[in-house]
Structure 1
Amino acid sequence: MYDASDPRSTLASVQPGPVATAFAGADCGKFYETAPQEDDANGRSWLIRSQHCVVAYSEARDGACFIRSAQPDEYVLLLPDAGASAEVETAGGKELVPGYSIAFVPPGPSAIRIAGSGPVVRLFTTRAEDLVARCANTASYAAPHPNVAPFQPWPEATDGPRLHVYSLDVPDEPGRFGRIWRGSTMMVNVLPAQHGPRDVTKLSPHHHDDFEQISLALEGAFTHHLRWPWTTDLNAWRDDQHEYCEAPSVMVIPPPAIHTSRGMLAGVNQLVDIFCPPRLDFSLKPGWVLNAADYPMPAEGTGVGS
């Protein structure tokens, strides 16, 4: 359910999926009040996972170096502040990734060397088993969560596996929802900053049938409102959740929970939504995916990005 002013109100209607009979709870990582999983010369890093994705959020020190020696698939580097840039070395050579940028890093060996200090976000699929083992909520996924479709990667970039870098400095545009980039494993939507609390008369409660949403708060604070469907089995019912999360924090929203998030503070409230694999409905909207020319759509009938 979207307000008429919300660009998502123009999304094509999705045919109802199978009726869910079991539900997973949401996972919340409040990094500001929990110990990091890593605290070393690189800085302090927190790791949290969803069914298919690992979020590594770091308060990086100047000179930090994040190395992947045998990364099995493409991953994402997000540098949300202009004051922290990176030199990224891959099999194709070295390239500067300025602060306030997003980069898609090819599989294989890579090294990220940070210049300056500030937040550094890396997004991996759960094929990165060494990182999965370090996530704070590993126990939540002792058994796969219900209702989440199997992971299907998207096609590789049209010019092959190499580093792709994009500036976050993209102006808002009427009719376009956020600032969306996709790769072969992830879709990242850096939403416009909310200045002041969100208008409570224009919230956007909605649900996803078969994919999780990861909401990363970078600035300010958000209340994530979640409600699960009722079924004929009272044992499957879950209480509503209204989770107040300051930045930095992550909320992993499971399907088919109805959800909406609202900025809470008087200043800037900045949220980033992450989907693994990319969303098909967003990809079908002309102009929404800013790097659509670099990463092709999957062939019809593949079942990717449902």
Structure 2
Amino acid sequence: MPYGSADPRSRLATAANPDTPVTDYAGMEYAEFATIPPAVTVDGREDWYARGQNLVLGWSRVTGESRFEDRDEPQEYVLITVDPTVTATVEAGGETVEVPGERMVVVPPGSSRIRVRGEGRVVRLVRATAEDLVALAVNRDSYAEPHRNIPPFVPWPDPADGYRVRVYDLTVPTLPGSPFRLYRCTTAMVNWIAPQEGPRDPRRLSPHHHDDFEQYSLVIAGEYVHHIRWPWTTDRTVWREDEHRRVGSPSLAVIPPPSEHTSEAVDEGHHRLVDIFSPPRLDFSAMDGWVLNAADYPMPATDGATP
């Protein structure tokens, strides 16, 4: 993978393994929320949904006070109050927790209720076993059959001190020498990347691939071009043309393995991209100090194998 030497991902164990056995290809999934009507409109809120193999992402625009539908999830899910001007009340596991803006909340399994208020944006990340949310996804038909390059979902080990509502500050400093802020739970990992001011240097892109997991790239500000290339195999019938798709905000791109990809902020102004993975990335988690809440969530046993 051609990461630059200054890119912290150049130290990943997976960065040195470009050879990927390929049995089939899935295409890119794009959901440009700014160009389509909301799936749900209620007093004080509009919701859009898109999915990958393992997650449904809900994007909401809050314009007052609103309550999401009560949920009874068998696994953890994530709530993100994107803006400082939107807050939430989370009721779950016998707790009621007041959440300020710019926070990531991990909601425990079981019954939960979320109320939001203010003016701003909210994200929810729920397992794709949530059939009611899958039915609302703009690309719901794309996963009528599981994509074969992605293994069956396995949640990560239970949190070290048991399940509860957990709130993480998204305004803390990024990792030294990196724009990353990484958090994980049993079902997902969120990389709350620092914003990009102005266009990305086209001489310093970072094309790379993943062997067996999707990347959910959520654009929440500005415009990006997603550059995508699929490797050739001996079977020419599965080859795909390169893609260079320009998207605005808000939008979601679900990037399939094993496509080579990089995203480029374009034009002047403020740009922000958030990367999401489900389940959490083992290679990122194996890097000492990278995951800011690693003490809360143990890694799975790897039998001594290199992740």
Please name the residue that 2:101 is paired with: 99
Q: 1:74: how far off?
A: 0.4
Q: Alpha-carbon deviations, 1:198-256, whole Å to 9, x = none? A: 00000000000000000000111111000011112221111111111101000000000
Aligned equivalents of 1:28, 1:7: Cα separation in 2: 27
Equivalent residues in 2 for 1:18-97, closer than 5 Å: 19-97=21-99
Matches within 5 A, 1:1-306: 1-13=2-14, 15=17, 19-176=21-178, 178-301=180-303
State the identity %.
48
CA distance in 2, matches of 1:154, 1:34: 35
Deviation (angstroms), 1:161: 1.1
Output the amino acid matched with 1:67. E
Q: What amino acid does structure 2 have at the position aligned with 1:55?
A: L
SS of residue in 2 equivalent to 1:94: strand
| Mapped contact 2:188–2:278 kept (Cα < 8 A) | yes
Residue pair 1:37, 1:45 contacting (<8 A) in 2 also = yes
For residues 133 and 103 of structure 2, the distance between their equivalents in structure 1, rounded to whole angstroms, comes to 23
In the alignment, residue 86 of structure 2 is paired with which amino acid? Answer: A
Moved >6 Å (runs of 4+): none
CA distance in 2, matches of 1:144, 1:42: 35
Q: CA RMSD in A?
A: 1.7
1:176 positional shift: 4.4
| Aligned-partner Cα distance in 2 for 1:115–1:8 | 37
Length-normalised TM-score, structure 2? 0.95
For the structure 1 residues 194 and 261, does the alpha-carbon distance in structure 2 shift closer, same or farther, using more than 3 Å as the test?
Answer: same
How many equivalent pairs are there? 305
The residue identity in structure 1 corresponding to 2:212 is D
Partner amino acid, structure 1, of 2:255: I
Q: Distance in 2 between the 1:214 and 1:164 partners?
A: 22
Which structure 1 segments of 5+ residues have no match? none
Structure 1 residues 192 and 114: alpha-carbon distance in aligned structure 2, compared to 1, 3 A threshold: same
Q: How big is the shift at 1:197? A: 0.2
Q: Is the 8 A contact 1:60 1:120 kept in 2?
A: yes
CA distance in 1, matches of 2:200, 2:227: 13
SS at match of 2:213: coil
Give the CA deviation at 1:16.
5.8
